[in-house]
Amino acid sequence: MQVGLKNYLVITAGYWGFTITDGAIRMLVVLYFHQLGYSPFQLAMLFLFYEFFGVVTNLVGGWLGARIGLNRTMFLGMGLQVIALSMLTVPDTLLTVAYVMLAQALSGIAKDLNKMSAKASVKLMLPSQQKGESKQAEKRLFKWVAILTGSKNSLKGAGFFIGAALLSTIGFRSALAVLAGSLLLVLLITIVLLPADIGKTSDKPKFKQLFSNTPEINWLSAARFFLFGSRDVWFVVGLPVFLSSVLGWQHTKVGAFLALWIIAYGFVQALAPQLLRQSRHHSGPDGATSRRWIFVLAIIPAAIAIALQLSANPAVAVVLGLVIFGIVFAINSAIHSFLILAYSDHDKVSLNVGFYYMANAGGRLSGTVLSGLAYQQWGLTGCLWISSAFIITAGLLSSPLVPDKN
């Protein structure tokens, strides 16, 4: 267990380092190119390949991790992120939409290789279950994955703030150089500390095994598509542009606010096992838990949209709504992150997690495109109504998930 804990801590620390750069590059690109005069839809297009290649990477990444080891797919992700950051340091005259989309494509591949590797590794760090220990093992699994996911999101929030602060202080290119150099150092340290072949299987899964044949994983993945699409449809482009152009916030203020939101969101995710402890589940949440929390979430973006349509103070409506949305969304995300590992067998965990996060990336892709398009056509209110519709769809797709999988 001590070896498993050590590896878990190394993987978590490497994931943290990567996540800071992922949050920072997102904020750098949105704010810098908005400053250059890009429209909301053009900003969304900059992230099109980032999300699209996330879909492809998650599908292939789980299979690749099972064949070569999850540590190697994680190292590959970090290396690609260093390249993506370095690519954007060229002069403005070379920063065409196509070029930035290419750099973002590499960043998208990097992010999902890293995320899939880290999350799939968590289950493999736990000792094999003994007879009569399944409930205790599920509690431990829920705790470990909640801490990993929650801390990652808190660090992503810190990355948002770091990106905005670096943009305001040392400029776009210097900020990217600092981030690339820091991540390279993290990569080298992680290579030294991690053992080889984590997650590598002996049977060499075939490419046709990429798609899951487990009904619970398929339904959960479909729900995940719409759950994360519902967040990104207003969070990726609509929200930062709204805060900057409608509320008149400066770049540093936008970055600080979104950073604080994601940091708090991550803390709630990490605390999800404690927050749900009083429920009837003594091990981990189940399909019924997921459905209840999803339908609660659907109310929140609709309420914000109604408040804006009734001419409520936009700053109060959006900020207060974001706080409530963040709390409920974080609990939903923690439940989902646990269920995908709980539904997966040890020998198929990387394949199932890859398939599941392919759906996650597909939802983010649809949300990203709709975020720019909907904001340009209907403003933030339109983004919020689409968000609520996505969440309701996620709840309906969760209906086949059994109340208690044990």
* Tokens read off for 55: 């879909």
Per-residue pLDDT, averaged over 68-88, amounts to: 88
Residue 134 has pLDDT above 80, yes or no: no
Can you give the pTM of this predicted structure? 0.72
Mean pLDDT of 121-136: 56
- Band the pLDDT of 405: cuts 50, 70, 90: very low
pLDDT at 148 over 70: yes
Mean pLDDT of 117-132: 61
Amino acid letter, residue 57:
T
pLDDT above 80: residue 167: yes
Give the pLDDT score at 170.
Answer: 92
Sign of CA dihedral 308, 312, 318, 320: negative
In contact, 25 and 177? CB cutoff 8 Å: no
Residue 247 pLDDT exceeds 80: yes
Tens of pLDDT, residue by residue over 268-301, are: 888 877 777 645 444 567 778 889 999 999 999 9
Q: Quick one: how far is CA 321 from the chain centroid?
A: 20
- Is 70 exceeded by the pLDDT of residue 125? no
Q: Averaged over 48-72, what is the pLDDT?
A: 77
Task: Measure the CA–CA gap between 329 and 312, rounded to whole angstroms.
Answer: 23
As given in the structure block, the two tokens for residue 150 are: 């929650």
Alpha carbon distance 76, 83 (integer Å): 11
CA–CA distance, 77 with 258 (Å, rounded to integer):
25
pLDDT of residue 176: 93
Pick the CATH number of 2-397 from 1.20.1250.20, 2.60.120.10, 3.30.565.10, 1.10.150.120: 1.20.1250.20
Cα 196 to Cα 217: distance, rounded to the nearest angstrom: 28
357 against 223, higher pLDDT: 223
Q: How many Å apart are CA 140 and CA 146, to the nearest integer?
A: 10
Average pLDDT over residues 64-74: 77
| Three-state SS letters, the chain | CHHHHHHHHHHHHHHHHHHHHHHHHHHHHHHHHHHCCCCHHHHHHHCHHHHHHHHHHHHHHHHHHHHHCHHHHHHHHHHHHHHHHHHCCCCHHHCCHHHHHHHHHHHHHHHHHHHHHHHHHHHHHCCCCCCCCHHHHHHHHHHHHHHHHHHHHHHHHHHHHHHHHHHHHCCHHHHHHHHHHHHHHHHHHHHHHCCCCCCCCCCCCCHHHHCCCCHHHHHHHHHHHHHHHHHHHHHCCHHHHHHHHHCCCCHHHHHHHHHHHHHHHHHHHHHHHHHCCCCCCCCCCCHHHHHHHHHHHHHHHHHHHHHHHCCCCHHHHHHHHHHHHHHHHHHHHHHHHHHHHHCCCHHHHHHHHHHHHHHHHHHHHHHHHHHHHHHHHHHHHHHHHHHHHHHHHHHHHCCCCCCCCC
Single-letter amino acid, residue 310:
L
pLDDT in tens, 38-53: 887 788 788 888 878 8
pLDDT value of residue 130: 45
Q: Please state, in angstroms and rounded to a whole number, the distance separating the CA atoms of residues 386 and 229.
A: 9
Residue 198 has pLDDT above 50, yes or no: yes
Q: Indicate the burial class of 158 (C-beta count within 10 angstroms; 0-12, 13-18, 19 or more).
A: buried
The per-residue pLDDT for range 300-352, each reduced to its tens digit, is 999 999 999 999 999 999 999 999 999 999 999 888 888 887 777 665 666 77
Q: Which of 141-145, 217-221, 245-249, 375-379 is predicted with the least confidence, judged by mean pLDDT? A: 141-145
Own/partner pairs for 123-127, CB < 8 Å, 24+ apart?
123/341, 123/344, 123/346, 123/349, 124/70, 124/198, 124/199, 124/346, 124/349, 125/4, 125/5, 125/7, 125/8, 125/11, 126/4, 127/1, 127/4
Which has the closest alpha carbon to 355: 338, 367, 340? Answer: 340
pLDDT, averaged across the chain: 81
CB-CB contact of 293 with 328 (8 Å): yes
Instruction: Specify the length of the chain in residues.
Output: 406
What pLDDT does 126 receive? 59
- Tell me what percent of the residues of the chain surpass a pLDDT of 90: 25
Residue 177: pLDDT above 90? yes
Categorize the per-residue pLDDT at 6 as very low, low, confident or very high, splitting at 50, 70 and 90.
Answer: confident
Residue 373 has pLDDT above 80, yes or no: yes
Question: Does residue 187 have a pLDDT over 70?
Answer: yes
Whether pLDDT at 233 is above 90: yes
Domain parsing of the chain, residue ranges: 2-397
